[in-house]
Chains A and B, each alone.
Chain A
């Protein structure tokens, strides 16, 4: 082999080596351009709301549970809440709702502290003091209606989210509904902070059932509304759960603005 051939081979390989990454780069740039185009067009800066994603390896099981929960809602919970709604006028149901909210104060207080939100914790405590006395054992909410001290939301699932624990995977629990690994830990944590958990067994179950049916009596029709508009109700509800939790963790829940 002459020196020139070696040189040519060397130059050729060199050019190939430099051109190929260049071409790859070009392709990359093109992909990038499409991506940024998408980003710019579909996700506006600052006022954007990013898509949330969750792994759902249990989807086949979750979907079965979804059907079960759906039937449970329409056959048991909805009729129960409807009857309850007829039996009790709105002010009475509001009082019951207020009472349970007041009783579960330890959940919100502890989690506000854990999140380092000391102002919020103070507000929670202030509300508790006012509503337990002036509001007669928490049956009414003069803190909000008279003094405009708005209720705060805080739970252990939110605390975990604020410390950047990921959702891990989606779990659709029977009866309890949409959740994730993070939120399941959250619920367990909240359980221990909830005074009604320390009632005797039957009383505890009765209290929880009343609380749930009472809450539901204000939201009748909402599930049906979501289901009706959805093309894939399972995904619609999973995504709704994620979006709501995300807003709560990022303190963007407008229902919670001070």
Chain B
């Protein structure tokens, strides 16, 4: 009887250790993953050996791995997204990602290798997370960026960037809502196309 209880106890602890251990392995903490990406971006931005063209290409590669563009596009269009054809969805995602990428990289361009980034207030709710970052840029005002992420298997992907309290996705959603009340979807695409081409 005593042995049995001991056995059960042993099995239980083993099971608990295994599951918690596995749970821990399931996903690297979002902050660690985000840190890797931002550091990578800054390293590339400050690498003077790279040609401008190569630099941009590399930056896009890094950002693409961490940002969930289709998700962001869906959020930005809200209920309009449901009425789109697959082709339109793809086209929109492509253009919108360019737009966001430009805006995001433009903001990060002021960072230098001396920039210290503080990561704080990591909040995790099931498969969603948000992380505040404060960048101390030399001789300039601090830059406040909050990242909102979700988990896909073991990867944490960004689906919104909040710069100085303004969510980019929400900001574009307001614009799209207002514009789609006045113009067709095709016209909207043209407008984004013109903006991105600049």
Contacts and interface: CB of A to CB of B under 8 A. Distances in A.
A2 interface: no
B148 A243 contact: no
Nearest to A253: B165
Chain A: interface secondary structure? helix
Interface stretch (B7-15, B32-40, B51-59, B139-147): B139-147
B167 A243 contact: yes
Q: Which range holds the interface residue count of chain B?
A: 35 or more
Interface in A56-79: none
A202 interface: no
B175 interface: yes
Interface in B65-109: 74-75, 78-79, 82, 99, 102-103, 106-107
Contact of B141 (A218, A232, A247, A257): A218
Interface residues of A, number: 34
**From A38, A47, A240, A248, residue with most partner B Cβ within 10 Å:** A47
Nearest to A41: B74
A232 B123 contact: no
Interface in B164-198: 164-167, 170-176, 178-179, 188, 191-192, 195
Interface string A219-258: 1000001000111100110111001100110001111010
Nearest to A51: B170
Interface in B109-139: 121, 123-130, 132, 134, 139
A232 B166 contact: no
Nearest to A241: B166
A257 B75 CA distance: 28
Interface of A: 34, 38, 41-42, 44-49, 51-52, 90, 218-219, 225, 229-232, 235-236, 238-240, 243-244, 247-248, 252-255, 257
The 9 closest A-B CB pairs, nearest first, are: A44-B128, A239-B174, A46-B125, A247-B165, A47-B130, A229-B103, A42-B75, A235-B175, A232-B175
13 contacts: A38-B78, A45-B125, A45-B126, A47-B129, A49-B170, A235-B178, A238-B174, A239-B175, A244-B164, A254-B144, A254-B165, A255-B144, A255-B164
